[in-house]
Amino acid sequence: MTRVEQIGSATLHLGNAYEIRPTLGWFDEDVMDPQYQFDNSGGGEYRKARGASDQIVAEGLDQGFDHRIINPLLCGGVVVFCHNDQLHELLPYIAGLFPRYVVNFWAKPNPAPHRNKHYLADTEPYIHAWKEGCHPVGEHHDMHRWIEAGSMPSRIYGHPTVKPDAVMTKIIRNLSGTSVCDPFMGTGSTGVAAIRAGKRFVGIEQNPAHFDTACKRMEQAALSIAREAADA
């Protein structure tokens, strides 16, 4: 099933990212939150409180992703969210494609509880890599590598890994260029931040329910911007 929706400056594709992204051409930045790869077993007494993790597994979002979706021939830079267990494979791969990269972190004051012989998941890493001329931008005080924002409950948009607006706004603000592609769009948090930053956005999502949610969020963002412009 494929479908394309044009909402203001955003173009949204319903379909397979591995098939669609190579056909879209160049973007200044690819920003993605691809499938995690982690062990969801255990949990002990906190098992019932881990609904988001169970939903990740139920939707098949715990099996990792094909790293070849990260293509420096199609973008000047890339931001990739990942699980801590993916860093050992993902970092060498990215280092072979881009001359510069840094590991940043999103700090969660409200991490999901668990007891599976691991550290509390109170931070989530994301990698920002870039080529010459596509370096991060922003004022000195805005170039910190740490963002603090509470996790969004999955019930808000029906998705288990929705990124808070504060996280995506900060990331988009530090990206160079004027165009952003998100191959794993989910419910559209990257797109909302990109639209508000005045950047052209293209997103891809294979889950029809999440795609519809993203369309609604894009429409709301576009309307909000139009109202703000009219009131100015």
63-86: pLDDT as tens digits: 789 999 999 999 999 999 998 999
Q: In the Cβ-directed half-sphere of 208, how many Cα atoms lie within 13 Å?
A: 3
Q: Which residues contact 145 (CB under 8 A, 6 or more apart)?
A: 102, 103, 104, 105
Residue 43 scores a pLDDT above 60: no
- Tally of CB atoms within 10 A around 66: 10
3-state SS assignment for residue 156: helix
Domain ranges of the chain: 3-231
State residue 131's pLDDT score: 98
148-155 contact pairs (CB < 8 A, 24+): 148/106, 148/107, 148/108, 148/109, 149/106, 149/107, 149/108, 149/109, 150/108, 150/109, 150/110, 151/52, 151/108, 151/110, 151/111, 151/112, 153/52, 154/51, 154/52, 154/55
CA torsion sign, 137 to 223 to 106 to 61?
A: negative
pLDDT recorded at residue 171: 97
pTM above 0.75, yes or no: yes
Q: What is the mean pLDDT of residues 91-97?
A: 98
Residue 22 in contact with residue 29, Cβ under 8 Å? no
Three-state secondary-structure class, residue 9: coil
So what's the pLDDT on residue 41?
Answer: 61
Give the three-class secondary structure for 31: strand
Between residues 38 and 138, the one the model is more confident about: 138
**Which homologous superfamily is 3-231 in?**
Vaccinia Virus protein VP39 (3.40.50.150)
Q: What is the mean pLDDT of the chain?
A: 88
Q: Give mean pLDDT, residues 184-210.
A: 96
End-to-end distance of the chain based on CA atoms, in angstroms? 41
Selected residue with higher pLDDT from 182 and 120? 182
Mean per-residue pLDDT, 197-224:
95
